[in-house]
């Protein structure tokens, strides 16, 4: 029935991979925390959960952690009554963790079973510091088999790497031996860690070190109260009074209770198992909450990506609308284009084919008198550059609008960083692209006109005007046939647009002209849309590159469900 | 001792100027910080030159113990439970008026030092709560007072001297306040001699790395009293100088100015008149305003009129078939809208692009906040630009609206020639009538070199008229072109004026404000 159900380690591995895939690429508030948490989950699975699940009988790893100067290294040395790790007055002293185990357990820690990312070294204490990527492995007789002690770097000094490494090591522990002092026990930073331990159900023992003998009871009571209120009443509390050190070691009687407890733990398989299982179960249980937190952060990434994408979409949709309006509203027929058109039609070149003789005569004379000729190519050229100008301004504004709104959106500023000036305007090659696209459009219109005119009865007349002339009329009709010109402007145009169009209708037929114009307009819109899309892609690509994978959430949720199922069916 | 430092008043004055310039122009948080500092400075300066010194540090470092040691009485009770001190305590050495100061600091636990050391007269010592314990309210109180006091003594100890909590949150950000800070390494009695020296050196190294090389480190022991005389001496120097408050405010001003300086670009290049619009802008604006259309109308109108007056009278009516293109634009009245085509989407696009280029040129080397401001400036302008341009064109004087004398004279000659022709024609008609009436030869017909005079009159009149019209045509054209050129010049001048007033000058003003802002910021931060 559960033939296909994965084992817990397999399900865990899947979950780990899913978490490792999260990129948190958008710099939204809380991004750094989420990324750190994701890394912590991955590390804990690698460092602790998988090795522990695969070998429940492996030696118990007790990590001695806490504030700088609390006396962790001194404590470890004193417990072993040997100099295995360096203690010192300079803060922080310990940077590379030191793992001490019984010679018999050496094999369990020498390989990459636990903490696989830390290289093992075996130098003597007091030698050069091994740095943060290394773990010094010491086998020592003083320690019974089944128990290993790890002297961790501090959790609160200015050395950031120490803090990160300490958190990672604590997450890899079967048991925390949390060292604090009479001066430290109310510090916020270690308490944050203790609260985490409570959430994760980690087995904790607290050592209150360096207590002035006279204040022993008062301080111990105060701390015990704090532990109780934090839900750590089950944690053992060991108090070590501050006395002069003997050769750098604490007096044996001060640490006797702690020592006895640890040795007992090592000797008692059952008790050790209980500790191992408590921490393991707690860590596994807490995973679902931690993954929920990661899912929320991932959701936030998605939302931010969506918002950024929408801002760009809106800006470019508006640009497209501007262009559409200008095209449909006849706005292009003003100014330069209108002047050229008037000249073109006004010279009578068009009228030559017209049968109405008065107009013809008048225009011929007019043309003879002014001697001016505007070719259809000039009309097309002015129309073309107008369209290109329009596209340029639309693309510029859209880029600027997008950049401006991104600056106020979560994650937007970081995406723009270093590219602000490029992204505030259309891309440098946009003008050329726009001109090319408009030229192609005009070619397309001429092609349309040519094929439309080919089969017409009035071919002879048609040819006398030239495809170019007819094309110019269609182009103008694209912008005029929706009635963009107001009455006054039609008067300025001398009714010539309408005349030209009617003329064309006479040749090609009313419906044909309308469909030609409609097709030409649709083509222009499509081209404008394409150009603006390319521009929008500059923004869209930035978001896409930083945005989370679309199915990341589903996959992560499925992996978390998979782990829950695997645990239940065990 | 002559100090090169500018006086605090100058600094604050410069900062005030920067804030005034930035007001409504720069939407950045640093301006808010500057404004807050000015308010704080005003309040603090009014409260006299007593020296407010605060003991700050982690829980258990020995602030209260040190405080008591300096006061010489157990005013703030130290303790073994952490954290002990929850409210700020103040001790006042002599001096009066400290009450108002402490009211402003909102410190209510006050102690007047009995038999104060006259050297410390005017010292107000504060024992702050901790900043690193689980009690968040302690940290908030520390953060509040760290902003207000004149001198900060950071009390560290061998256990906590390298904590991220103090270095990352307080010491490193106070790098600009090195002169206002004092660091003591307390509890040195817990270390033997070499360890104490090593510890102090390590702390020194940390502080140097944070830019606090100028801050002294004093090893002390509040419990044994070691190092306390040195600490007291330093305090005496600061208190008697009566400059701590000013120094603190100056350091604050430097810090705020440094933050504001992030919004400064390079100052404007000298030489070029920033308020002059570039040719590209003027040209684009002229195009948007329809100047080419008007110029072409002027030329066509002049040509049409010339044709009418110099043309062959028999064909003049054709010119009247089309209305005067210039008249149709209804120019000449600045109040009325012209009938120039409304600046459509294309013209508006050209306008926007031109304005944007002008803006980019002005703001090329400015940081984001100022370029945003330039954008806002032109956004306001763009709205009324079209209207202003229209008025500029409408109100342009396009030159005298009359037909040139030579053209009128030619017209008269044309009429005369036409009359001559007419006379010839009438004569011929008369002759024909006479002929019909069989009265040939009743009147002698004079001859001119063998041709009858009426025929010569008719033919010559017509021919000469046609010739004259032909000869006049290029001249009319040249005249029309001249008029067009003149009109273009005048129109362009008017458009350039609009470009200056509506675009170039607002941009230049913003740019000038930037320069003023930066100069002020620089003076404030020197
Ligand atoms: N007198 C006395 N000194 C102690 C005691 N415990 C620690 N020390 C001293 O405190 C200093 C710090 O001790 P370490 O063991 O190096 O502290 P740590 O917790 O390992 O510190 P990091 O490695 O920096 O995280 C050393 O100089 C020790 O000698 C104690 O109980 N009594
Ligand atoms: N050995 C030693 N102990 C000190 C010294 N200064 C303070 N202490 C002790 O450290 C503890 C905390 O002192 P307290 O003044 O309350 O610290 P605060 O929290 O910084 O105000 C007390 O038990 C003091 O007795 C010192 O210079 N040397
Ligand atoms: Mg250590
Ligand atoms: Mg205190």
**Chain A residue numbers touching B136 (CB-CB < 8 A):** 188
Q: What pLDDT, on a 0 to 100 scale, did the predictor assign at position B339?
A: 52
Q: pLDDT by residue (tens digit) across B233-284? A: 999 999 999 999 999 999 999 999 999 999 998 877 665 666 788 888 898 8
Contact B328 A492 (CB under 8 A): yes
Residue written as tokens 């504001």?
A: B260
- C-alpha–C-alpha distance, residues B355 and B358, integer Å: 5
Q: What pLDDT, on a 0 to 100 scale, did the predictor assign at position A90?
A: 93
Interface membership of A389 toward B (CB under 8 Å): yes
- B:177-206 residues touching chain A, CB 8 A cutoff: 191, 195, 198-199, 202, 206
**Chain A residue numbers touching B287 (CB-CB < 8 A):** 335-336
| A363: confidence class by pLDDT, cuts 50, 70, 90 | very low
Q: What pLDDT, on a 0 to 100 scale, did the predictor assign at position A258?
A: 96
Q: In what order do the strands lie in the sheet containing B217-219?
A: B109-112, B89-92, B123-127, B51-57, B151-156, B181-185, B217-219
> Judging by beta carbons within 10 Å of its beta carbon (0-12, 13-18, 19+), is residue B504 exposed, middle or buried?
buried
Q: Retrieve residue A428's tokens.
A: 């440098």
> Nearest residue CA, atom 16 of ligand 2?
B78
Q: pLDDT at residue A127 above 60?
A: no
Cα of B128 vs centre of ligand 4, distance in Å, is 7
Q: pLDDT by residue (tens digit) across B304-360? A: 888 888 877 777 666 666 666 666 565 544 444 455 545 566 777 888 888 998 998
Residue written as tokens 């072993």?
A: A80
CB B384, CB B411: distance < 8 Å? no
Percent of chain B with pLDDT over 70: 91
Contact A393 B132 (CB under 8 A): no
Q: What pLDDT, on a 0 to 100 scale, did the predictor assign at position A492?
A: 39
CA angle B221, B226, B230 (to 5 degrees): 105
Domain with CATH 3.40.50.300 in chain A: 59-267
The average pLDDT across B293-311 equals: 82
The DSSP element (H or E) to which B155 belongs, if any, is: strand B151-156
The DSSP element (H or E) to which A211 belongs, if any, is: strand A203-211
CB A403, CB A397: distance < 8 Å? no
Please state which of the ranges A108-122, B208-222, B384-398 shows the lowest mean pLDDT.
B384-398
- Written out in words, the top-level CATH class of the domain with range A59-267 is alpha beta
Most confident segment among A365-379, B399-413, B424-438: B424-438
Q: pLDDT by residue (tens digit) across A395-419? A: 999 999 999 999 999 999 999 998 8
Percent of chain A with pLDDT over 90: 66
Q: Of A65, A69, A258, which is best to mutate to test ligand 1, by the most ligand atoms within 8 angstroms of its C-beta? A: A69
A and B: number of Cβ contacts within 8 A: 171
**Chain B residue numbers touching A193 (CB-CB < 8 A):** none
Interface membership of A406 toward B (CB under 8 Å): no
Q: pLDDT at residue A473 above 70?
A: no
Please state which of the ranges B23-32, B194-203, B438-447, B483-492 shows the lowest mean pLDDT.
B438-447
Average pLDDT, chain B: 88
Q: Retrieve residue B515's tokens.
A: 């320069």
Q: pLDDT by residue (tens digit) across A260-282? A: 999 999 999 999 999 999 999 99
Is there an atom of ligand 1 within 6 Å of A250 CB? Answer: yes
Is there an atom of ligand 1 within 6 Å of A72 CB? Answer: yes
Residue of B84, B294, B309, B341 to mutate, interface with A, max A Cβ within 10 Å: B341
CA A119 remoteness from chain centre = 31
Q: What pLDDT, on a 0 to 100 scale, did the predictor assign at position B400?
A: 67
Q: What pLDDT, on a 0 to 100 scale, did the predictor assign at position B230?
A: 96
B325 Cβ contact partners less than 8 Å away, ≥ 6 residues apart: B296, B297, B300, B301, B304
- For A90, the closest of B157, B198, B352 (CB atoms) is B198
- C-alpha–C-alpha distance, residues B83 and B137, integer Å: 12
Largest Cα–Cα distance in chain B? 159
| A338: confidence class by pLDDT, cuts 50, 70, 90 | low
Is there an atom of ligand 1 within 6 Å of A180 CB? Answer: no
- For B163, the closest of A157, A338, A366 (CB atoms) is A157
- Complex ipTM, two decimals? 0.82
Chain B: residue whose CA lies nearest to A407: B368
Q: pLDDT at residue B509 above 80?
A: yes
Chain A: residue whose CA lies nearest to B346: A390
| A335: confidence class by pLDDT, cuts 50, 70, 90 | low
Contact B82 A191 (CB under 8 A): no
Cα of B185 vs centre of ligand 2, distance in Å, is 12
Interface membership of A263 toward B (CB under 8 Å): no
Residue of B134, B166, B321 to mutate, interface with A, max A Cβ within 10 Å: B134
Chain B: residue whose CA lies nearest to A431: B353
Buried b (16+ CB within 10 A) or exposed e, B408-424: eebbeebeebbebbeeb
Instruction: Give the length of chain A.
Output: 570
The average pLDDT across A143-164 equals: 94
Q: pLDDT by residue (tens digit) across A189-242? A: 999 999 999 999 999 999 999 999 999 999 999 999 999 999 999 999 999 999
Q: What pLDDT, on a 0 to 100 scale, did the predictor assign at position A490?
A: 40
Q: What pLDDT, on a 0 to 100 scale, did the predictor assign at position B285?
A: 87
Average pLDDT, chain A: 84
Q: What pLDDT, on a 0 to 100 scale, did the predictor assign at position B322?
A: 60
Nearest CA to A533 out of A328, A233, A320, A353 is that of A320
Contact B162 A91 (CB under 8 A): yes
- C-alpha–C-alpha distance, residues A108 and A47, integer Å: 13
Q: Is A570 helix (H, G, I), strand (E, B) or coil?
A: coil
- For chain A, how big is the Rg over CA atoms in Å? 40
- C-alpha–C-alpha distance, residues A501 and A503, integer Å: 5
CB A367, CB A385: distance < 8 Å? no
One DSSP character per residue, B266-284 reads PPPPSSS-TTSPPHHHHHH
Q: What pLDDT, on a 0 to 100 scale, did the predictor assign at position A387?
A: 84
One DSSP character per residue, A158-196 reads S-HHHHHHHHHHHHT-SEEEEEEETTTTTBHHHHHHHHH
Residue of A66, A74, A90 to mutate, interface with B, max B Cβ within 10 Å: A90
- C-alpha–C-alpha distance, residues B384 and B510, integer Å: 18
- Number of Cβ within a 10 Å radius of residue B1: 2
Q: Retrieve residue A532's tokens.
A: 């603006």
Higher pLDDT, B390 or A291: A291
| B110: confidence class by pLDDT, cuts 50, 70, 90 | very high
Contact A183 B162 (CB under 8 A): no
Please state which of the ranges A6-10, A122-126, B480-484 shows the lowest mean pLDDT.
A122-126
Q: pLDDT by residue (tens digit) across B422-449? A: 998 998 898 889 888 888 777 788 888 8
- DSSP one-letter code for A210: E
**Chain B residue numbers touching A420 (CB-CB < 8 A):** 368
Cα of A92 vs centre of ligand 3, distance in Å, is 7
Interface membership of B16 toward A (CB under 8 Å): no
A310 Cβ contact partners less than 8 Å away, ≥ 6 residues apart: none
Please state which of the ranges A62-66, B4-8, B181-185, B507-511 shows the lowest mean pLDDT.
B4-8
Contact A184 B372 (CB under 8 A): no
The average pLDDT across B215-225 equals: 96
A61, A72, A233, A529, B315 from A203: Cα distances, Å: 11, 18, 11, 63, 114
Cα of A63 vs centre of ligand 3, distance in Å, is 12
- C-alpha–C-alpha distance, residues A421 and A414, integer Å: 14
The average pLDDT across A245-251 equals: 92
Give the ligand with the smallest distance to the CA of A186.
Answer: 2
Cα of A86 vs centre of ligand 3, distance in Å, is 6
Cα of B442 vs centre of ligand 3, distance in Å, is 149
A351, A435, A479, A529, B215 from A474: Cα distances, Å: 16, 19, 9, 21, 81
Percent of chain A with pLDDT over 70: 79
Does the bond joining B167 to the residue before it have cis omega, within 30 degrees of 0?
no
Is there an atom of ligand 2 within 6 Å of B76 CB? Answer: no
Strand partners, A121: A136
Q: What pLDDT, on a 0 to 100 scale, did the predictor assign at position A367?
A: 40
- C-alpha–C-alpha distance, residues A157 and A132, integer Å: 14
Q: pLDDT at residue A365 above 70?
A: no
**Chain A residue numbers touching B291 (CB-CB < 8 A):** none
A267, A318, B73, B134 from B78: Cα distances, Å: 44, 68, 12, 18
3-class secondary structure per residue, B297-331? HHHHHHHHHHHHHHCCHHHHHHHHCCCCHHHHCCC
Q: What pLDDT, on a 0 to 100 scale, did the predictor assign at position B343?
A: 56
> Nearest residue CA, atom 21 of ligand 1?
A69
Q: pLDDT by residue (tens digit) across A502-524? A: 666 666 667 777 777 788 888 88
- C-alpha–C-alpha distance, residues A145 and A60, integer Å: 9
Checking B495-498 for CB contacts under 8 A at 24+ apart, the result is: B495/B282, B495/B285, B495/B286, B495/B289, B495/B291, B495/B389, B495/B392, B495/B393, B496/B277, B496/B282, B497/B392, B498/B285, B498/B289, B498/B385, B498/B388, B498/B389, B498/B392
Q: What pLDDT, on a 0 to 100 scale, did the predictor assign at position A506?
A: 64
Interface membership of A326 toward B (CB under 8 Å): yes
Nearest CA to B211 out of B181, B256, B176 is that of B176
| B461: confidence class by pLDDT, cuts 50, 70, 90 | confident
The DSSP element (H or E) to which A204 belongs, if any, is: strand A203-211
How far does A101 lie from chain B, in Å, by closest CA? 29
Please state which of the ranges B24-33, B140-149, B315-324 shows the lowest mean pLDDT.
B315-324
Nearest CA to B299 out of A370, A561, A298 is that of A370
- C-alpha–C-alpha distance, residues A121 and B415, integer Å: 119
- C-alpha–C-alpha distance, residues B347 and B287, integer Å: 7
Q: pLDDT at residue A477 above 60?
A: yes
Q: pLDDT by residue (tens digit) across B37-62? A: 999 999 999 998 899 999 999 999 99
Q: What pLDDT, on a 0 to 100 scale, did the predictor assign at position A488?
A: 39
A247 Cβ contact partners less than 8 Å away, ≥ 6 residues apart: none
Q: What global pTM score does this model have? A: 0.83
- C-alpha–C-alpha distance, residues B231 and B404, integer Å: 99
The average pLDDT across A460-466 equals: 51
How far does B120 lie from chain A, in Å, by closest CA? 31
- B:34-63 residues touching chain A, CB 8 A cutoff: 58-61
> Judging by beta carbons within 10 Å of its beta carbon (0-12, 13-18, 19+), is residue A165 exposed, middle or buried?
buried
Is there an atom of ligand 1 within 6 Å of A322 CB? Answer: no
Residue ranges and CATH numbers for the domains of chain B are 50-241 (3.40.50.300), 279-525 (no CATH)
Nearest CA to B75 out of B65, B62, B83 is that of B65
């Amino acid at each position: 029935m559960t033939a296909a159900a994965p084992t817990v380690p397999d399900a865990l591995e899947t979950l780990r991979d899913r978490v490792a895939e999260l990129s948190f690429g958008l710099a939204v508030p809380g991004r750094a925390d989420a990324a750190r948490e994701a890394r912590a989950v991955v590390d804990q699975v690698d460092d602790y959960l998988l090795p522990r699940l695969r070998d429940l009988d492996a030696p118990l790893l007790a990590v001695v952690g806490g504030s700088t100067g609390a006396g962790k290294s001194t404590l470890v040395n004193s417990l072993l009554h040997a100099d295995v790790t360096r203690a010192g007055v300079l803060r922080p002293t310990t940077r590379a963790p030191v793992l001490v185990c019984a010679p018999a357990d050496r094999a369990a820690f020498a390989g990459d079973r636990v903490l696989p990312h830390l290289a093992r070294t075996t130098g003597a204490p007091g030698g050069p510091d091994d740095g943060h990527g290394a773990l010094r492995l010491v086998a020592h007789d003083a320690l019974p088999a089944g128990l290993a002690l790890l002297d961790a770097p501090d959790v609160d000094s200015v050395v950031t790497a120490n803090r990160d490494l300490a958190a990672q090591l604590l997450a890899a522990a079967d048991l925390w031996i949390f060292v604090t002092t009479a001066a430290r026990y109310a510090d916020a930073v270690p308490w944050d860690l203790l609260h985490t331990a409570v959430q994760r159900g980690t087995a904790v023992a607290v050592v209150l070190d360096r207590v002035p003998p006279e204040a022993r009871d008062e301080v111990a009571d105060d701390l015990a109260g704090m532990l109780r209120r934090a839900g750590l009443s089950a944690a053992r509390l060991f108090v070590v009074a501050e006395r002069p050190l003997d050769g750098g070691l604490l007096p044996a009687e001060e640490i006797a209770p702690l020592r006895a407890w640890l040795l007992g733990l090592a000797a008692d398989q059952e008790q050790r198992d209980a500790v191992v299982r408590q921490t393991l179960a707690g860590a596994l249980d807490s995973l679902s909450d931690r993954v929920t937190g990661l899912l929320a952060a991932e959701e936030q990434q998605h939302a931010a990506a969506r918002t950024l994408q929408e801002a760009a979409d809106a800006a470019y949709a508006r640009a497209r609308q501007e262009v559409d309006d200008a095209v449909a509203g006849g706005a292009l027929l003003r100014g330069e284009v209108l002047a050229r058109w008037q000249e073109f039609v006004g010279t009578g070149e068009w009228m030559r084919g017209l049968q109405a003789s008065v107009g013809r005569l008048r225009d011929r004379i007019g043309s003879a008198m002014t001697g001016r000729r505007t070719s259809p190519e000039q009309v097309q050229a002015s129309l073309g550059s107008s369209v290109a100008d329009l596209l340029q301004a639309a693309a510029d504004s859209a880029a600027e609008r997008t950049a401006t709104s991104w600056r106020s959106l979560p994650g937007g500023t970081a995406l723009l960083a270093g590219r602000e000036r490029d992204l505030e305007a259309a891309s440098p090659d946009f003008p050329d692209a726009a001109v090319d696209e408009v030229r192609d459009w005009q070619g397309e219109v001429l092609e349309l006109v040519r094929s439309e005119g080919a089969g017409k009865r009035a071919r002879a007349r048609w040819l006398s005007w030239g495809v170019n002339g007819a094309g110019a009329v269609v182009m103008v009709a694209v912008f005029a046939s929706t009635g963009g010109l107001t009455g006054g402007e039609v008067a300025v145009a001398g009714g010539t647009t309408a005349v030209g169009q009617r003329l064309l209708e006479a040749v090609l037929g009313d419906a044909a002209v309308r469909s030609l114009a409609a097709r030409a307009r649709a083509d222009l819109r499509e081209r404008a849309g394409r150009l603006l899309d390319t521009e929008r892609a500059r923004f869209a690509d930035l978001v896409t590159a930083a945005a989370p994978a679309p199915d990341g959430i589903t996959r992560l949720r499925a992996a978390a469900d998979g782990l829950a199922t695997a645990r239940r069916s065990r | 001792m002559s100090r090169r430092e500018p006086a605090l008043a100058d600094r604050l004055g410069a900062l005030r100027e920067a804030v005034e310039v930035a007001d409504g122009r720069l939407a950045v948080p640093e301006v808010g910080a500057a404004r807050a500092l000015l308010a704080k400075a005003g309040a603090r300066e009014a409260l006299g030159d007593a020296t407010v010194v605060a003991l700050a540090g982690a829980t258990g470092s020995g602030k209260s113990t040190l405080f008591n040691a300096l006061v010489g009485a157990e005013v703030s009770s130290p303790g073994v439970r952490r954290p002990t001190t929850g409210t700020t305590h103040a001790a006042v050495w002599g001096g009066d008026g400290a009450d108002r100061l402490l009211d402003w600091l909102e410190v209510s636990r006050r102690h007047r030092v009995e038999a104060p050391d006259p050297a410390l007269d005017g010292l107000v010592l504060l024992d702050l709560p901790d900043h690193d314990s689980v009690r968040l309210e302690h940290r908030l109180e520390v953060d509040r007072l760290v902003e207000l006091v004149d001198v900060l003594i950071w009390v560290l100890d061998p256990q906590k001297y390298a904590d991220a909590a103090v270095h990352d949150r307080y010491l490193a950000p106070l790098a600009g306040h090195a002169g206002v800070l004092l660091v003591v390494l307390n509890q040195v009695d817990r270390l033997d001699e070499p360890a104490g020296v090593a510890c102090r050196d390590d702390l020194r190294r940390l502080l140097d790395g944070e830019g606090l090389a100028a801050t002294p480190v004093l090893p002390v022991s509040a419990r044994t009293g070691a190092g306390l005389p040195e600490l007291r001496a330093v305090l005496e120097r600061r208190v008697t100088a009566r400059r701590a408050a000013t120094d603190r405010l100056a350091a604050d001003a430097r810090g705020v100015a440094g933050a504001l300086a992030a919004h400064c670009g390079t100052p404007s290049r000298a030489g070029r008149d920033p308020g002059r619009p570039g040719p590209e802008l003027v040209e684009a604006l002229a195009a948007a305003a329809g100047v080419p259309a008007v110029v072409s109308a002027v030329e066509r109108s002049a040509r049409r009129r010339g044709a009418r007056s110099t043309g062959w009278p028999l064909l003049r009516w054709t010119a009247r078939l089309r209305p005067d293109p210039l008249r149709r634009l209804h120019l000449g009245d600045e109040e009325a809208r012209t009938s120039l085509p409304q600046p459509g989407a294309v013209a508006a696009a050209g306008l926007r692009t031109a304005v944007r280029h002008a803006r980019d040129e002005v703001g090329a080397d400015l940081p984001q906040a100022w370029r945003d401001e330039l954008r806002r400036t032109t956004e306001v302008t763009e709205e009324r630009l079209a209207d202003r341009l229209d008025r500029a064109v409408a109100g342009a004087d396009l030159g005298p609206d009359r037909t040139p004398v030579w053209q009128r004279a030619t017209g008269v000659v044309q009429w005369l020639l036409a009359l001559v022709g007419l006379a010839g024609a009438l004569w011929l008609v008369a002759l024909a009538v006479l002929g019909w009436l069989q009265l040939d030869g009743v009147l002698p017909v004079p001859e001119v070199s063998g041709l009858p005079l009426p025929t010569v009159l008719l033919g010559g009149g017509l021919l000469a008229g046609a010739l004259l019209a032909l000869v006049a045509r290029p001249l009319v054209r040249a005249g029309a072109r001249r008029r067009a050129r003149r009109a273009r010049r005048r129109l362009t001048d008017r458009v350039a004026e609009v470009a200056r007033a509506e675009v170039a000058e607002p941009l230049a003003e913003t740019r000038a404000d930037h320069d003023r802002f930066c100069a002020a910021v620089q003076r404030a931060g020197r």
